[in-house]
Amino acid sequence: MSTATAGWLQAGLLVVALAVAYRPLGDYLAYIFTTNKHWRVEWGIYRLIGVNPDADQKWSTYLRGVLAFSAVSVLFLYGFQRLQEYLPLSLGFPAVPADQAFNTAASFATNTNWQSYSGETTMGHLVQMAGLAVQNFGSAAVGIVVVIALIRGFIRSRTEQVGNFWVDLTRACLRLLLPISVIFALVLIAGGVVDNVAAAHPVTTLAGGHQVIPGGPVASQEAIKELGTNGGGFYNANSAHPFENPNPVTNLIEIFLLLVIAVSLTRAFGKMVGDKRQGYAVLAVMAVIWVASVAGISYFESGQHSAAAAAAGGAMEGKEVRFGIPASTLFTASTTLTSTGAVNNAHDSLSPLGGGITILNMMLGEIAPGGTGSGLYGILILAIVTVFVAGLMVGRTPEYLNKKIRPREMKLASLYILTTPALVLIGTGVAIALKGEQAAILNPGPHGLSEILYAFTSTANNNGSAFAGLSVNTVWYNGALGVVMLLGRFLPIVWVLALAGSLAAQRMVPASAGTLPTHRPLFISMLLGVVILVVALTYFPAQALGPLAEGLH
């Protein structure tokens, strides 16, 4: 079987699996956030935290819940790391340094999972389980409930109430993330992923050498790592490590997990707004971008542009032989188009233009299909911009899902779109200008710029993957990237929830002959155009100085 055939076969199997899960999981997601019934265990949680589950909240109150929960999460995880040496199952590891603890706490609480440390030599088992893995659930749930609040903004009329954050958060964790994670943790264990609380133990190799093999509760963390589009690896090698991702079957399962909720949310969106075609239209845009990304990275990694790579059967540097080019590029495209950040190969070893596509994937806002919740609310913001542009073209007040897009909505959408590029480009510029941080760049020139650009793009978009070759475990980088992660997560959420409240306060506007249908190929094409013109081209000068300059050299 040729490499190309194997690649398309794997992609086809993945698409079939997602198609099978799309309807039942999408319908279940819609049910979770529309039913009035509470589970008994949920009632116990509500009583414990003093919440009335039947009381709706204004968008500002909902936002305060998001920020309060996330702030406590950051403080808890920071303290957990700083006290690690006194905790059980610390494996003898000392406390995590203050700057690195802040960076890691900000990272996992924002669904970024950027790691400036090596997991198996820095974090004890309890910190991994009760600290990092718990944040994998909480941060993923926050992304989901924010987009649910935005959807309620479209379907509610003359109210600023967009739901109850604590109810939504509890349901997202207990009814969705936890049961699926348990099932797939068992699947991964069956596939060869390790799961224990053993300390590292020395072994003698066949050649007579000695090696220390670290164990750990890997499978239980791996499932939610991918399902919640988190991405933080138990080991430094992440999903390239054979204990995290042993074979092509587990590799395909992990790709499925990191895509399935984001894909299925489009079905939930269509069902909640009462028009499933709206969900299909959004999914079509996501699918076009995903296919283009997979094809583009596969082409540039195929080795046809390099005699050495062609002789090796592809650009195999930094890739696992057990995965090869197809499974590596499929994982790479999927993880950078979501906010996952998990890697099964070294992105720094990708060809210049292949690596450039991974950066572009994140620059698009990770909307194809994006992170759990964040991908859908990102593309819905772009859909609002699309109908606004269409309204200007025909001289009518733009409408989307029976709501008028007025100046207030466009201001909030514009703030959302401008926030992340500002963080990426300003952060990259400052990092390059600081002479004291030049030593962190191990590959000067265009590739060095690409590495810095990748770091700030990844953290501002809450992705978490990285190019190697940049020493980010410094006080400045830990602090700067930590702040960028926090701003890149919560400023957009502020704009999204304010938009949800603004839409909910409006009355429904019946569609008329002049209303642009937002479920047809014309709108899908226009939305793709807005993604390219409004988002992608914002970064073109930076891309031209980095990946494009290196690739065309």
Closest CA to 153 of 516, 511, 507: 507
Neighbour tally for 468: CB within 10 Å = 13
Q: Which band of pLDDT confidence, cut at 50, 70 and 90, is reported for residue 304? A: low
Q: What is the DSSP string of 457-469?
A: HHHHTT-----SS
Amino acid sitting at position 457: T
Contact between 300 and 324 (Cβ < 8 Å): no
The kind and range of the H/E element at 162 are strand 161-163
pLDDT at 388: 94
| pLDDT tens, residue by residue, 109-130 | 999 999 999 888 899 999 999 9
Amino acid sitting at position 16: V
Closest CA to 56 of 203, 200, 157, 163: 163
Neighbour tally for 394: CB within 10 Å = 9
Residue 48 in 3-state DSSP?
A: helix
pLDDT at 469: 75
Closest CA to 359 of 483, 491, 536, 239: 536
Question: What is d(CA 307, CA 298) in angstroms, rounded to the nearest whole number?
Answer: 17
| pLDDT tens, residue by residue, 398-414 | 999 999 999 999 999 99
Residue 502 in 3-state DSSP?
A: helix
pLDDT at 303: 65
The predicted model gives 315-319 an average pLDDT of 81
Contact between 239 and 341 (Cβ < 8 Å): no
pTM across the whole model: 0.95
pLDDT at 245 over 70: yes
Cβ partners under 8 Å of residue 537, min gap 6 = none
Read off the DSSP letter of residue 343: -
pLDDT at 347 over 70: yes
Tokens of 518: 């937002």
Cβ partners under 8 Å of residue 480, min gap 6 = 427, 430, 431
Q: Which band of pLDDT confidence, cut at 50, 70 and 90, is reported for residue 4? A: low
Tokens of 39: 């589970």
| pLDDT tens, residue by residue, 506-533 | 999 988 877 889 999 999 999 999 999 8
pLDDT at 210: 83
The predicted model gives 74-98 an average pLDDT of 95
Write the Ramachandran bin of 39: left for phi over 0, alpha for psi from -120 to 50, otherwise beta.
beta
pLDDT at 287: 97
Q: Which band of pLDDT confidence, cut at 50, 70 and 90, is reported for residue 214? A: confident
Question: What is d(CA 451, CA 550) in angstroms, rounded to the nearest whole number?
Answer: 12
Amino acid sitting at position 13: L
Q: Which residue has the higher pLDDT, 353 or 396?
A: 353
| pLDDT tens, residue by residue, 469-503 | 788 889 999 999 999 999 999 999 999 999 999 99
pLDDT at 308 over 70: no
- What is the CB-side half-sphere exposure of residue 325 using CA atoms within 13 A? 28
Neighbour tally for 329: CB within 10 Å = 32
pLDDT at 1 over 80: no
Question: What is d(CA 237, CA 118) in angstroms, rounded to the nearest whole number?
Answer: 8
Beta strands 399-400; 403-404: pairing state: antiparallel
Average pLDDT for the chain:
92
pLDDT at 553: 61
Question: What is d(CA 374, CA 68) in angstroms, rounded to the nearest whole number?
Answer: 19
Q: Which band of pLDDT confidence, cut at 50, 70 and 90, is reported for residue 2? A: low
Tokens of 6: 């194997």
Q: Quote the percentage of the chain above a pLDDT of 70.
A: 97
pLDDT at 213: 82
| pLDDT tens, residue by residue, 170-190 | 999 999 999 999 999 999 999
pLDDT at 66: 98
Q: Which band of pLDDT confidence, cut at 50, 70 and 90, is reported for residue 540? A: confident
Question: What is d(CA 453, CA 456) in angstroms, rounded to the nearest whole number?
Answer: 5
Task: Work out the angle between the directed axes of helices 374-394 and 407-433 (0-180°, nearest 10).
Answer: 120
pLDDT at 312: 52
Q: What's the residue count for the chain?
A: 553
Cβ partners under 8 Å of residue 40, min gap 6 = none
pLDDT at 229 over 90: yes
